[in-house]
């Protein structure tokens, strides 16, 4: 058997199946969320093209030893920082109050913060794996030097959601990166202490109003609380099978959905509020199926982390798992009033291009960690991975 076939057969098929199923479900759900649009845009077809191209990237990265990204990590990080900086120039594009998109000549519009977080994961994994014996204080200082600049630039873009993604991502990597738990506990306590100050003095008024609306949507039911209230009505009125499968008496017209009535805005029904449309159209059963699919995906990622052959692979998987978990939890949570509203997409399901391609790249890296898990490693790397 050739090495190519051995890698192809030996890849993490649970991960591959979860990625394919969720991606195809995303195409289906986007079509359902946009079929009532009067616009000629075919979001589901665009998403299908990104998924198809992304799966090619997924397989190509899977069959390549993930250690090659050690050479890519720092250059990609530098490029992503430059791209983040360019959003503050004439090339930056404002979307819903956040200047977080970039339109360069000859290129489609994309979101550089998605590239930045992937490059940050790679550089941090490289740093933590290369200096396992460095004192915890200096490792935390190095972590800050790597992660704070892209976080600050993302925050200056007024993209609070993407800034928050860094927190669980970095904490997952530090947890498995050999940092003593007492240091992490101190870090969490410092963060919780500073959080009220950040909310009161650093967040824009619209961001603070979202937090207030999350705590009590009825304070401003026609303003900041409107989206949460309408989402809760849509999800709560769907029943077990959803409104698409609801029985209609003979001769009667089906009850219009919140989406059809325009109460769920069409411009976010296939992105930020895709789970709302899924739950309304397919009910409790559809919502649980989506959550279960992500549970299987995260389980496959965690199993891969346990089988990683070295510290670098372990930390890559830990960071990506933290990122995907928070995206999923935040997107679903904000539609059912468990989290404040942010513009974070649901992985592989929300309509998007940059995020889908970067996810496929990172899932390919995780699969590569699995495929190459049995190759020989140095004693130093093995000791760190088992620490």
Pick from 55, 72, 74, 46: which is nearest to 15 by CA?
A: 55
CA contacts within 13 A on the Cβ side of 18 = 23
- The DSSP output letter for 110 is B
Q: How far apart are CA 198 and CA 196, in angstroms?
A: 5
Task: Output the CA–CA distances (angstroms, integers) from residue 355 to 137, 144, 213, 245, 351, in the order listed.
Answer: 33, 24, 28, 31, 9
Beta strands in the chain (DSSP E): 92-95, 98-102
Residue 84: the pLDDT is 94
Length of the chain: 387
Per-residue pLDDT of the chain (387 residues; tens, 9 = 90+): 677 788 878 889 999 999 999 999 999 999 888 877 655 568 888 999 999 999 999 999 999 999 999 999 999 999 999 999 999 998 888 887 778 888 888 888 889 999 999 999 999 999 999 998 889 999 999 999 999 999 999 988 888 889 999 999 999 999 998 889 999 999 999 888 888 887 777 777 777 777 877 777 877 777 778 888 888 988 988 888 887 766 555 655 566 777 777 778 878 888 889 999 999 989 999 999 999 999 999 999 999 999 998 999 999 999 999 999 999 999 999 999 888 888 889 999 998 888 999 999 999 999 999 998 887 555 444 444 444
Residue 149: the pLDDT is 95
Classify the C-alpha dihedral 26-13-120-61 as positive or negative.
negative
The predicted model scores a pTM of 0.91
Residue 387: the pLDDT is 43
Q: How far apart are CA 373 and CA 360, in angstroms?
A: 20
Buried b (16+ CB within 10 A) or exposed e, 196-219: eeeeeeebeeebebbeebbeebee
């Amino acid at each position: 058997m050739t090495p190519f076939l051995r890698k192809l057969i030996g890849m993490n098929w649970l991960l591959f199946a979860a990625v394919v199923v969720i991606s195809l479900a995303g195409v289906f759900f986007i079509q359902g969320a946009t079929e009532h649009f009067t616009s000629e845009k075919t979001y589901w077809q665009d998403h299908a093209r990104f998924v198809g191209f992304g799966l090619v990237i997924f397989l190509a990265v899977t069959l390549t030893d993930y250690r090659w990204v050690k050479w890519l990590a720092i250059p990609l990080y530098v490029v992503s920082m430059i791209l983040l900086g360019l959003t503050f120039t004439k090339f930056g594009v404002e979307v819903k109050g956040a200047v977080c998109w970039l339109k360069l000549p000859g290129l489609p519009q994309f979101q550089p913060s998605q590239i930045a977080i992937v490059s940050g994961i790679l550089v941090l994994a490289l740093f933590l794996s290369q200096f396992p014996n460095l004192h915890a204080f200096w490792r935390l200082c190095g972590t800050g030097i790597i992660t704070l600049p892209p976080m600050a630039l993302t925050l200056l873009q007024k993209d609070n959601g993407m800034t928050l993604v860094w927190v669980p991502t970095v904490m997952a990597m530090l947890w498995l990166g050999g940092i003593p738990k007492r240091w992490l506990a101190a870090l969490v306590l410092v963060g919780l202490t500073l959080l009220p100050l950040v909310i009161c003095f650093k967040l824009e008024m619209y961001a603070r109003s979202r937090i207030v609306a999350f705590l009590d949507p009825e304070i401003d039911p026609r303003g900041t609380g409107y989206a949460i209230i309408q989402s809760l009505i849509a999800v709560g009125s769907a029943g077990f099978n959803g409104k698409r499968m609801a029985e209609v008496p003979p001769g009667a017209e089906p009850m219009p959905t919140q989406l059809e009535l325009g109460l769920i805005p069409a411009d976010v029904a296939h992105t930020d509020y895709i789970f709302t449309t899924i739950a309304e159209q397919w009910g409790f059963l559809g919502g649980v199926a989506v959550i279960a699919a992500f549970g299987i995906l995260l389980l496959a990622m965690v199993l891969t982390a346990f089988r990683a052959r070295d510290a670098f692979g372990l930390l890559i998987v830990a960071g990506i798992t933290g990122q995907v978990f928070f995206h999923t939890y935040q997107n679903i949570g904000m539609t059912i009033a468990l989290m404040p509203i942010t513009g974070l997409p649901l992985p592989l399901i929300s309509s998007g291009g940059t995020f889908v391609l970067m996810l496929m790249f990172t899932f390919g890296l995780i699969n590569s960690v699995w495929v190459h898990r049995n190759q020989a490693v140095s004693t130093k790397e093995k000791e760190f991975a088992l620490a």
